[in-house]
Amino acid sequence: MNITKENIDALNAVVKVDIVAEDYKDKVTEVLNDYRKKANIPGFRKGHVPMGMVKKQYGKSVMIDEVNKLLQESLNKFLVEEKLDILGNPLPIVKDDFSWDTDQFSFEFELGLAPEFDVDLKGKNKIKEYKIVATDELIDKEVENIQTRYGKLIAQEVAEEHSNVTGTFVNEEKGINKKSTFLVNDLKGKKNEKKLIGAKAGDVIELDTKKLFEEDFKLQQVLGVSNEDAKDLDVKVTFTVEEVNKTELAELDQDLFDKLFADGSVKTVTELKDKIKEDAEKQFQQQADQQLLNAVTEHLIENTKFDLPETFLQKWLQTAGEKELTLDEAKEEYTKSEKGLRYQLIEGKIMKDNGINLEYAELLDYAKGFIKAQMAQFGNMNPEEEELNNIAGRVLSNQEEAQRLQTQLLSQKLLGFFKENMKFKSKEVSYEDFIKEVYK
């Protein structure tokens, strides 16, 4: 057997595999002998079927099977030994004059080669890194939310601006019949508020769903409709008032602090606000980190220039999925996936050049930390190590779940690497300004 590679250009090559009878005949004979031992053919005792009959019936199919096995094993071994960094999979070149009615075969495969390039982490254009701070206004609002959650409901005769109103929304045409509770001042606009202020149990009020609430999710919640329906819903609904209550805010005293923090770590309103600020900014940091990782990804894709074997990849995409694609469909798919492929190559280059990798022990520890945090939410603050190991083992045995955790952990490691090795423009913003700037 002989395998050779011919480079077409820097990104494309052809591998030729020549196979002769000596390469596969012993294996074919071995398989046919095994068939002969097991064959049940009328007129012959088991194991005594003439080899000529076995060859006639099975010889060609066995030969084809063994040649294909040898071809695949030899090609894979060649790619590994030659350390060829390929994209996609080798594509067989179909020959019109190919025939299995011979004992010598020649196969050719197209290869798409990964490009060689360098990644510059010290670019001139600095990426913006956000530090999101919890403003006094946000903290004060969260304090009021806490007081509301732990406050007392007091029945009212008529609704006021800050009343909780419970009732049923109905629109027969859209199949809406939903009992809900909401704050009067959650409604958008003074016109809608005025319709509710002064309302009492038994009153029936007609409302327009369009611009009823500031957020679509609130309309979805109170009407019991899908997110998609809530976006463009513009109908009239009747709202029958059933209850009107007002929340008497809980006192900011030690009793409330102990309900919130059982360890007694909060004894004053100032300490409560400090805790809220700390917790909020931890959550904000996760969002800021994700935004930074997204920005670095876009920056690297835009500023790391290299060519790809585009024609080869489009041909490969035609047969890579469950459904075969037309060339036009494959070109469209390539356009959609090109950016992701480019970052995959950039990420791989960064990891290889800087010794960034994931060990199973790291993934196991990460999974255990994730599980421990979930268990803490249900009151199990100190699970046994053996229990954590068993649960983590089961989680990681699920390939899909293991891949999800691996992706998260790798993102964390890469983000840490970028923070250490790249320079950013730091900007301190409120959460509201962060949302406006990043998701405008």
Residue 11 lies in a domain: yes
Residue 135 lies in a domain: no
Q: What is the CA radius of gyration of the chain?
A: 34
Domain enclosing residue 427, as ranges: 259-306+356-438
Judgement on whether residues 279 and 424 belong to the same structural domain of the protein: yes
Name the one residue in this structure whose structure tokens are 């060519």: 307
Judgement on whether residues 275 and 420 belong to the same structural domain of the protein: yes
The predicted pLDDT at position 56 comes to 87
The predicted pLDDT at position 45 comes to 75
**Which of the 8 DSSP states describes residue 213?**
B
pLDDT tens-digit profile, the chain (440 residues): 999 999 999 999 999 999 999 999 999 999 999 888 887 777 777 777 888 888 888 899 999 999 999 999 999 999 999 999 999 999 999 998 899 999 999 999 999 999 999 999 987 778 999 999 999 999 999 999 999 999 999 999 999 988 999 999 999 998 999 999 999 988 987 888 899 999 999 999 999 998 898 777 888 899 998 888 888 889 999 999 999 999 999 999 999 999 999 889 999 999 999 999 999 999 999 999 999 999 999 999 999 999 999 999 999 999 998 899 999 999 999 999 999 999 999 999 999 999 999 999 999 999 999 899 888 878 777 889 999 999 999 999 999 999 999 999 999 999 999 999 999 999 999 999 999 999 87
Q: How far is CA 184 from CA 140, 168, 228, 251, 364, in A?
A: 21, 14, 25, 23, 49
Residue 399 lies in a domain: yes
The total number of residues shown for the chain amounts to 440
pTM of the model as a whole? 0.78
Residue 401 lies in a domain: yes
The predicted pLDDT at position 347 comes to 97
The answer to whether the CB of 165 falls within 8 A of the CB of 181 is: yes
Judgement on whether residues 229 and 272 belong to the same structural domain of the protein: no
Which of 60, 89, 113 terminates a domain? The answer is 113
Judgement on whether residues 162 and 221 belong to the same structural domain of the protein: yes
Judgement on whether residues 17 and 99 belong to the same structural domain of the protein: yes
- Measured distance CA(31)–CA(23) in Å, rounded: 14
The predicted pLDDT at position 271 comes to 96
CATH number (domain holding residue 227): 3.10.50.30
The predicted pLDDT at position 288 comes to 96
- Measured distance CA(350)–CA(119) in Å, rounded: 7
- Measured distance CA(281)–CA(111) in Å, rounded: 50
Judgement on whether residues 160 and 273 belong to the same structural domain of the protein: no
